[in-house]
Amino acid sequence: MEIIRTIKGTNDLLPGESFRWQFAEALIRSQSSRFGFREIRTPIFESTALFSRGIGELTDIVSKEMYTFPDRGGNSLTLRPEMTASVMRSFIQHRLDQDGGVQKLFYIGPMFRAENVQKGRLRQFHQWGVECVSAEGPAADAEVIALMIRTLAAFGLTNLTLRINSVGDEQCRPVYREALRTFFTPVKDQLCPTCQGRLENNPMRILDCKSQVCQTLAKGAPSILDYLNEDCRTHFETLQSLLNALNIAYVIDDRLVRGLDYYTKTAFEVTSNDLGSQNAVGGGGRYDLLVSQLGGKPTPSVGFAIGLERLFIILEELKLNPGWVAPVPDLYIALLDREARMAAASVIDTLRTEGLSVEYDLMNRSLKAQLREADRLGSRFVVVIGSQELSSGQFRLKNMQTGTEQVLPVQEWVQAIRREK
Ligand code: HAM
């Protein structure tokens, strides 16, 4: 019979790798809480309207990458392609604004996009994201950027480029859009078919096009930075001063346009100088209008998300170990016969209750096979229990790293093992 496999662009996380993810998630949680961010979890699927309204109908994500399906009642549902819209939906629904002040939220979880699969581009991938909600000033932008950069550094990643831009707001952006239309219209026929469409609807996305021709044509295009109004310009300049004060290096990239429509003012992206084509490790920006677009009160906010698979690709390529250790049992108990098996059951239970990780044979294997298994698992200590040990109450506890043995009663194992940790 043909075996059933994972869907293209999705991965199993196998037990031999899960400790790395657990470590990364623990580091991320600890960094997030250091910066005062608290976890939020929202459902994997939501009403399709949330994303089409939130992210923008014309974006690649909404127009061609969403996993959308009708449920049995005929409602249109979508597997979340990102979580900013979901978090804001939750913020509005649960009136989190009533808690007062700034809400600092983070999440870790799977996202779904029907993309062309390649290295670093999956259909189910994982993000760590943060949203700093109800914070208007550039200090919040600096806060989330600092959290991102400091966390990547905690993983050992420093060969990164942080690019920042301002994409303006609802006052200055329309003027800039018009300037782009005026610039590109005479060369419209030379633009790629996608960008010909963008010229009318969203000309800023032309700046982001991967096609060589569009990139060349965009070279002399006007810069958004010349069109920012006073408010956006001051915001952007203050952000730069704050980043300077934090000693966070950045490059101003006036061509940086992110693939989601909700951004206003600050947009940023972190790329790895060690990754190939899919080199965006993370990105984010400010989205002051999103909450009102979703039916809530105006709530200026800023956030980012990092792709965890991309983080792992870099760690792997650079052979970096941020501090994870593959878990091994503290103790393997090899059992000689049925009597030993019966007697050991409660000993094992007690040791586990006291906090040791204890392994033993569940397959009635020979002593030799059990010792081989202890070795394979990398157990730190091994003890063999047979009738002789049971009658004397003394057991030979062997430290597998040093090869030394101690003869001890059961009551002293925990202490002996802890001592040598
Ligand atoms: P995004 O740029 O679409 O932003 O995604 C953020 C990161 O998720 C990317 O930089 C990348 O590392 C990872 N990523 C995206 N798509 C894939 C994929 N198909 N396979 C693997 N990794 C991927 C957002 O999602 C925004 N919600 C970020 C944000 C939060 N903005 C404000 N708050």
Every domain of the chain and the residues it spans: 15-172+228-317, 331-419
What pLDDT is attached to residue 185?
95
Which atom of ligand 1 lies at the shortest distance from residue 308's CA?
12
- What's the pLDDT at 307? 98
Q: Which of 239-243, 276-280, 346-350 has the lowest mean pLDDT?
A: 276-280
Average pLDDT of the segment spanning 363-368:
96
Residues 229 and 200: their CA atoms lie apart, in Å, by 23
pLDDT at 172: 97
**The pLDDT of residue 106:** 98
pLDDT surpassing 90 at residue 58: no
Domains 15-172+228-317 and 331-419 share a fold: no
The Å distance, Cα 282 to ligand 1 centre, comes to 6
- Taking only the tens place, the pLDDT of each residue in 189-206 is 999 999 999 999 889 999
Nearest to 201 by CA among 295, 60, 48, 67: 60
Could you tell me what percent of the chain has a pLDDT over 90? 95
Ligand 1 centre from 267 Cα, in Å? 13
State CA 148 to chain mean position distance: 11
In this predicted structure, what is the pLDDT of residue 349? 97
Residue 44 CB neighbours (<10 A): 15
CB of residue 85 inside a 6 A radius of ligand 1:
no
Contacts for 25-32 with beta carbons within 8 Å, 24 or more apart? Answer: 25/108, 27/151, 27/154, 27/155, 27/322, 27/323, 28/106, 28/108, 28/128, 28/151, 29/108, 31/147, 31/150, 31/151, 31/154, 32/106, 32/130, 32/147
CA angle 62, 303, 298 (to 5 degrees): 80
Mean per-residue pLDDT for 244-257?
97
CA–CA dist 390, 360 (Å, integer): 17
- Confidence (pLDDT) at 76: 98
Specify the pLDDT at position 365.
96
User: In the predicted model, is pLDDT for residue 276 greater than 80?
Assistant: no
CA-nearest of 160, 139, 335 to 249 is 160
Average pLDDT over residues 259-271: 96
Residue with CA closest to ligand 1 atom 15: 307
User: Does the structure show a pLDDT above 80 at 331?
Assistant: yes
Atom of ligand 1 nearest to the CA of 83: 27
Whether 221 and 170 have beta carbons less than 8 Å apart is answered as no
The whole-number pLDDT of residue 318 equals 93
Rounded mean pLDDT, 332-339 = 96
pLDDT at 210: 86
pLDDT digits (tens, 9 = 90+) for 144-154: 999 999 999 99
Ligand 1 mean position, distance from CA 339 (Å): 57
pLDDT exceeds 80 at position 110: yes
User: What pLDDT was estimated at residue 116?
Assistant: 95
Quick count: other Cβ atoms within 10 Å of Cβ 34? 12
Q: What is the pLDDT of residue 275?
A: 76
What percentage of residues in the chain have a pLDDT greater than 70?
100
CB of 285 shorter than 6 A to ligand 1: yes
pLDDT average, residue stretch 41-68? 96
- What distance in angstroms lies between residue 360's CA and the mean position of ligand 1's atoms? 44
- Mean pLDDT (whole number) for 296-304: 97
136 Cα: distance to centroid of ligand 1 (angstroms): 23
311 CA to middle of ligand 1, Å? 12
The closest-lying atom of ligand 1 relative to the alpha carbon of residue 258 is 2
Best of 310, 312, 314 for a ligand 1 pocket test (most atoms within 8 Å of beta carbon): 310
Distances, alpha carbon 363 to alpha carbons 350, 351, 366, 373, 386, in Å: 21, 21, 9, 11, 17
- DSSP β-ladder status, 160-166 and 251-252: parallel
Query: Average pLDDT over the chain, rounded to whole?
Result: 96
Q: Which atom of ligand 1 is nearest to the CA of 81?
A: 25
What does each C-alpha distance from 247 to 152, 202, 244 come to in angstroms? 15, 35, 5
| 84 touches 303 (CB < 8 A) | yes
Position 153 scores a pLDDT of 98
Ligand 1 near 59 CB (within 6 A): no
Give the residue-averaged pLDDT of 147-164. Answer: 97
Beta carbon of 304 within 6 Å of any ligand 1 atom: yes
372-401 tens-digit pLDDT:
999 999 999 999 999 999 999 999 999 999
Mean pLDDT of 359-377: 97
Instruction: Kindly report, residue by residue over 69-86, the tens digit of the pLDDT.
Output: 999 999 999 999 999 999
Asked if pLDDT for residue 277 goes beyond 90, the answer is no
pTM: 0.95
Pocket test for ligand 1, best of 55, 59, 67, 111 (most atoms within 8 A of CB): 111
Residue with CA closest to ligand 1 atom 30: 304
Pick the CATH number of 331-419 from 2.40.50.140, 3.30.365.10, 3.40.50.300, 3.40.50.800: 3.40.50.800
Protein fold of 15-172+228-317: BirA Bifunctional Protein; domain 2 (3.30.930)
Mean pLDDT confidence for 26-32: 98
The reported pLDDT for the residue numbered 212 is 92
